[in-house]
Structure 1
């Protein structure tokens, strides 16, 4: 049965790959305006929530806007509907459009803005540039009837458990016998009320990242045949994976700064960009940080980057980097629009998977305020 999803349900699906806890402290993310309980027949993904974008949403009958840049970022002391900003908010309220923002959490998330930028530029073997947290490792131990062990292993593996390096669905199994006695009112998959049951079971052990615990447990309980699922979860002393802003990695082949800058221009579809440094310098290692990455220029240098790609470069930051030998490329803040297609694609997959009759669309309005003459 196909049905429309509620805004809250769609946001929960979105937060599975861009959870709010990844956001930097103080960032204005999450629900910005509107209702979580309404149904959403149409969702728009955008970089910015400007008045022309809202006009586009109104014309298309959009119920929910998911944006990278928050609409409400600074405290509002007054709202004058004669201004563009005031009209924008007024139109959203009048047309009952909910606005949700995923800012630095989408930057930090695996497969988020910075990973998308690296993918577009062909930067490989990437690591986090600015660590902000660690996603710890946990171990799941589950006890499953032998005939259902493969189904459970597959389900938790598909949900993300047992992913180690270039391998997935990694698990260890020991065969043994469980024991339980169904009491009055129980509806056992095996056994009879009041009688001790000793089924042949497999003890399945696998590891997962802490951020995926809810998804893993849900997959386990849905695939497991028992009315009451027996499982344990342990914290592991082994280091997890670093999470944070930006990425740093290797450029596929040795290339000059000017050649790489031309590649950046094409990859991001921009009409111009700013370059700092000797155009003939060979660059092998690149750091990327979507948006305004001025305060992390020296971090990129100290981590061995030959070139740093970020937006909104300040004059004096560029001076300091230039003198220290770090080359830089500023393709503009707006290149973060790379998130629109990726987010829309992942949400569309969720709609199909959950059989939700909700359309996902991408805003086509140009929100870059700059033109190159």
Structure 2
């Protein structure tokens, strides 16, 4: 677990820290940063557990609402767990802790409620918002002049994914190496498709699963597309389409958890600053647990 301070642009004249905020006040601050209206229609963002009037003194951040993270929240005395991924993305008919297919989620909810830990998800609203998930990746890679890959209907600076430019072109092999050095290590590692020597300057990025955005990537005229969870058929079709032209975009695929984990510190710092402005100071921590589901990566035969 790593503690996070408010981001450095917090005004010096922000009100002095007062009483701990309630969960309702934290939710109001999150709405200002990551409006629920930015979430995709299929998504399930916002509060999952917790009483609006409960005090929040310590917030733990993680990508996935899994049992190990919930137990960490209990162990460190967190009052609120903020996760990127929703716990209940699809409807359930029971939250019992045993006896049905969703028992693991039921057990997790029981642990939260029994220990007074609230749970809130900031998912595609945090993907689309300014300074969101894809911004976190893009800036760590040194991309400039960022704009949404798939803008919202309002045509503002919000939308899924980002497109930006490197200050100087690099080869695909060099870019993939930089990505591997930037994202957390996972069993899956980093995969790339394309000519290793082809130049890369314009980069399209989508944190999480992004194989539905190939048309937007082509419209952006990107040299490479960095995303996660690229399935065989969409990736194969994208490469075949690219090879009909100049071979662009190349593809770089990273683990889903790795691509989104980079945002946690940014999100925690932004929320801390927003609460400071409102006269509150809350301890913010980011879980260092790797919740990527894969444990081993075995290469093929050596001979």
Query: Where on the TM-score scale, by shorter chain, does this alignment land: which range?
Result: 0.7 to 0.9
Aligned partners of 1:85 and 1:242: how far apart in 2?
35
Equivalent residue for 2:180? 265
The runs of at least 4 aligned residues of structure 1 exceeding 4 Å deviation read none
Equivalent residue for 1:17? 33
Cα deviation code 1:126-162 (max 9, x no counterpart): 2211122216xxxxxxxxxxxxxxxxxxxxxxxxxxx
Q: 1:280 aligns with which of 173, 176, 197?
A: 197
Asked if residue 88 in structure 1 is aligned to residue 108 in structure 2, the reply is yes
Aligned partners of 1:126 and 1:300: how far apart in 2?
14
Does the CA-based 8 Å contact 2:272-2:281 persist in structure 1? no
Equivalent residue for 1:145? none
- 1:80 is displaced (CA, Å) by 4.1
Does the CA-based 8 Å contact 1:43-1:65 persist in structure 2? yes
Alpha-carbon RMSD: 1.7
Asked if residue 330 in structure 1 is aligned to residue 245 in structure 2, the reply is no
What is the correspondence of 1:144-293 to structure 2 with a 5 Å cutoff?
241-271=156-186, 272-293=189-210
| Runs of 5+ consecutive residues of structure 1 not aligned to the other structure | 136-240
Aligned partners of 2:255 and 2:36: how far apart in 1?
26
Cα deviation code 1:108-132 (max 9, x no counterpart): 1011111111101111112211122
Structure 1 length normalisation: TM-score?
Answer: 0.68
Asked if residue 3 in structure 1 is aligned to residue 19 in structure 2, the reply is yes
Q: Rg larger in 1 or in 2?
A: 1
Aligned partners of 2:123 and 2:57: how far apart in 1?
24
Aligned partners of 1:364 and 1:120: how far apart in 2?
18
Cα deviation code 1:27-54 (max 9, x no counterpart): 1011112212211121111111100000
Aligned partners of 1:297 and 1:75: how far apart in 2?
29
Does the CA-based 8 Å contact 1:121-1:267 persist in structure 2? yes
What is the correspondence of 1:113-128 to structure 2 with a 5 Å cutoff?
113-128=133-148
**Deviates most, 29-38 or 355-364:** 355-364
- 1:310 is displaced (CA, Å) by 0.5
Aligned partners of 1:252 and 1:118: how far apart in 2?
12
Which secondary structure state, in structure 1, belongs to the residue aligned with residue 158 of structure 2? Answer: strand
**Deviates most, 362-371 or 20-29:** 362-371
- 1:277 is displaced (CA, Å) by 1.4
- 1:95 is displaced (CA, Å) by 1.2
Aligned partners of 2:125 and 2:213: how far apart in 1?
18
- 1:343 is displaced (CA, Å) by 1.3
Q: 2:219 aligns with which of 302, 305, 316?
A: 302
Higher-strand-fraction structure: 1
Does the CA-based 8 Å contact 2:149-2:162 persist in structure 1? yes
Equivalent residue for 1:364? 288
Asked if residue 39 in structure 1 is aligned to residue 55 in structure 2, the reply is yes
Does the CA-based 8 Å contact 1:298-1:321 persist in structure 2? no
Does the CA-based 8 Å contact 1:133-1:243 persist in structure 2? no
Does the CA-based 8 Å contact 1:257-1:281 persist in structure 2? yes
| Runs of 5+ consecutive residues of structure 2 not aligned to the other structure | 1-16, 243-248, 299-303
- 1:351 is displaced (CA, Å) by 3.8
Does the CA-based 8 Å contact 2:44-2:89 persist in structure 1? yes
Asked if residue 55 in structure 1 is aligned to residue 75 in structure 2, the reply is no
Aligned partners of 1:113 and 1:246: how far apart in 2?
8
Equivalent residue for 2:4? none
Equivalent residue for 1:171? none
Count of matched residue positions in the alignment of Structure 1 and Structure 2: 268
Equivalent residue for 1:316? 233
Cα deviation code 1:215-269 (max 9, x no counterpart): xxxxxxxxxxxxxxxxxxxxxxxxxx24211111212211111110000111113
Does the CA-based 8 Å contact 1:130-1:246 persist in structure 2? yes
Asked if residue 72 in structure 1 is aligned to residue 88 in structure 2, the reply is yes
